[in-house]
Amino acid sequence: MTEGAPGHSSTAIRLEDVCKTYPGSAHPAVESLSLEIRAGEVMVLVGPSGCGKTTTLKMINRIIEPTSGRIWIEGTDALTTPPHVLRRGIGYVIQQVGLFPHRTVGENIATVPELLGWEEGAVKRRVAELAKLVGLDPELLGRYPAQLSGGQQQRVGVARALAADPPVLLMDEPFAAVDPIVRQRLQEELVSLQRRLRKTIVFVTHDLDEAILLADRMAVLNLGGKIEQLGTPAEILANPATPFVESFLGRERGLRRLSLLTVEEIDLEKGPVVGPGDGPSAAGQAMDRYGTDWVVVVEDGRLLGWKWGADLADEPHGFRASVAPSDTLRRALDVILTSHTQVAVVEEGGRYLGIIDAAAIGRALAG
């Protein structure tokens, strides 16, 4: 029976009043959770330990059976679909990776295509393709999982989950066990992978910064899987809906918002701009307008540098610090604070867009 799920036409997963009470527990682990996940989005479930994130994820692929409620996946009632059929369309990545220790890396990645009965040549080609996709050296395919670093194992886990090209990926704190530098690289790789693959991803984490980096939308969960707020990271950081969300977002909410805004999104001051041949009167006017004793020298839209207003005959000095329009405001602020000098905004190729300072960033946060 494939009665369509009610709701948004591009809904990929829909949870309707889903509850789970573990046998012998006084309180439900998840109490009446309703959530729609759109096709092609990364939905992050974020919240403190024990709030029911893992339970929720495992109910979607039926590793755990809900006590009550309904779950729809791509228009199909998940609870009446045989679990092994359901899971063919769902990749699953967990923290401890769960690689088979006695199978090589290549064999691990090939698991699902082999189960599906693909012919040998097709499996081989797919394994090679996936290794490339997730950035695994083909040399590693013959090794065993224990012979890989944590970060490499995590890539194998992702490759294995993607092997049969499932439309849905469930990821449960997949990067929590690797060190912060590797974690950051894996997060960035997932962002770039998703840009190409456009899977429907449900990603679980207790790490707010990870949630902000990865989420198209995120649900902030309280105990019992209660959704305190649902929205884009920018919406939630700008307007926390409840005291719980506000305290979960913590004291660095402003800094975290900066990591979601880019330099090109704010109104940039052009600064005291003059042409290379301009004399004292043009320079004087420019400096008066901005209250500076220096000018920016721009020719045909390209930044040549800056000069003291009193030394217009000098060659322009190069800016020691600059940022690109695509840089985040967080990065721009870091450059401003560490360079102790004026920071120019310059496009790749040298086109001058303006100058940026801490006050401009403050205005962007207020606005």
Contacting positions for Mg ion (CB under 5 A): 54
CB of 318 to ligand ADP, least distance (A): 51
CA distances from 145 to 47, 51, 106, 223, 257 (A): 31, 31, 10, 35, 38
Nearest CB to ligand ADP, comparing residues 54 and 61: 54
CB of 95 to Mg ion, least distance (A): 8
Distance, CA of 179 to CA of 327 (rounded, Å): 25
CB of 51 to ligand ADP, least distance (A): 4
Which of Mg ion, ligand ADP, none does residue 233 bind to, with CB < 5 to 8 Å depending on kind?
none
The continuous run of DSSP H or E covering 66 comes out as none
Nearest CB to Mg ion, comparing residues 94 and 258: 94
Which of ligand ADP, Mg ion, none does residue 25 bind to, with CB < 5 to 8 Å depending on kind?
ligand ADP
- 36 - beta bridge partners? 14
- 170: which 2 tokens? 């469930």
* CB half-sphere exposure, 102, CA atoms < 13 A: 0
Task: Give the SS3 label for residue 150.
Answer: helix
CB of 172 to Mg ion, least distance (A): 6
Q: Are 166 and 197 in contact, with CB atoms under 8 Å apart?
A: no
> Which 8-state DSSP code applies to residue 269?
B
Q: What are phi and psi of 299, to 5 degrees?
A: -125, 125
CB of 50 to ligand ADP, least distance (A): 4
Positive or negative, the CA dihedral 98, 104, 106, 112 is negative
Which of ligand ADP, Mg ion, none does residue 87 bind to, with CB < 5 to 8 Å depending on kind?
none
CB of 54 to Mg ion, least distance (A): 3
CB of 21 to Mg ion, least distance (A): 17
Nearest CB to ligand ADP, comparing residues 166 and 225: 225
Which of ligand ADP, Mg ion, none does residue 29 bind to, with CB < 5 to 8 Å depending on kind?
ligand ADP
- 190: which 2 tokens? 């997932």
CB of 247 to Mg ion, least distance (A): 20
Nearest CB to ligand ADP, comparing residues 133 and 227: 227
Nearest CB to ligand ADP, comparing residues 55 and 259: 55
CA distances from 258 to 69, 95, 181, 206, 241 (A): 39, 29, 21, 20, 19
Q: Are 356 and 336 in contact, with CB atoms under 8 Å apart?
A: yes
Nearest CB to ligand ADP, comparing residues 22 and 100: 22
CB of 206 to Mg ion, least distance (A): 8
CA-nearest of 302, 300, 346 to 324 is 346
Which of Mg ion, ligand ADP, none does residue 312 bind to, with CB < 5 to 8 Å depending on kind?
none
Q: Are 321 and 296 in contact, with CB atoms under 8 Å apart?
A: no
Alpha-helical regions (H) of 178-308: 180-197, 208-214, 233-238, 243-249, 253-258, 280-290
Which of ligand ADP, Mg ion, none does residue 50 bind to, with CB < 5 to 8 Å depending on kind?
ligand ADP
Which of Mg ion, ligand ADP, none does residue 201 bind to, with CB < 5 to 8 Å depending on kind?
none
Distance, CA of 344 to CA of 86 (rounded, Å): 53
Which of Mg ion, ligand ADP, none does residue 9 bind to, with CB < 5 to 8 Å depending on kind?
none
Judged by the rule CB under 6 A, the positions of this chain that interact with ligand ADP are 22, 25, 29, 49-55
Which of ligand ADP, Mg ion, none does residue 257 bind to, with CB < 5 to 8 Å depending on kind?
none
Nearest CB to Mg ion, comparing residues 58 and 160: 58
Nearest CB to ligand ADP, comparing residues 14 and 53: 53
Distance, CA of 175 to CA of 166 (rounded, Å): 20
- 20 - beta bridge partners? 30
Nearest CB to ligand ADP, comparing residues 46 and 73: 46
Question: Vertex 300, ends 296 and 301: CA angle to 5°?
Answer: 60
